[in-house]
Amino acid sequence: MKLKREISIKSPRLRAIRNNLREILYLEWDKRSRAIIHAKSDLLDIKPFQEEKFDELQEKLGENDIIIMPSIIVCGWCHHRDKDAIYNPSNRQWFCPDCYNEHKEEILNAESYIY
Ligand SMILES: [Zn+2]
């Protein structure tokens, strides 16, 4: 997407559906993140230290973060999951209207870390 876009849902029922879908996706993302962090933690107890495996898990954790950060599931600033969203094309992230309006200058000047 190359243009700023705002998605606003007025219907309370549709908002509830949106919020529930976001929650389901977020919980799956969180479960995966926790599993990777747990696996990394387990590696710290093994001697000799398995650096290659640890780095592999670290990379996997980064890849998992890249899934959620540009998504509409969470606000790129406050990480709330229950608000309308505005897409900022300059850094390719979604923000809730409150954060977008309050931090507009920083958001518009932010660089994308997503390639
Ligand atoms: Zn926000």
Query: What tens digit of pLDDT does each residue of 2-39 get?
Result: 788 999 999 999 999 999 999 999 999 999 999 999 99
Q: What is the mean pLDDT of residues 72-77?
A: 94
SS3 80: coil
In the chain, the percentage of residues whose pLDDT exceeds 70 is: 97
**4 alpha carbon – ligand 1 mean position (Å):** 16
Ligand 1 midpoint to CA 94 (Å) = 9
Residues 6+ apart with CB under 8 A from 81: 19, 22, 23, 26, 73, 74, 75
What confidence category does residue 114 fall into, taking pLDDT thresholds of 50, 70 and 90?
low
Per-residue pLDDT reduced to its tens digit, 84-93: 999 999 888 9
Q: What's the CA-to-centroid distance between 60 and ligand 1, angstroms?
A: 26
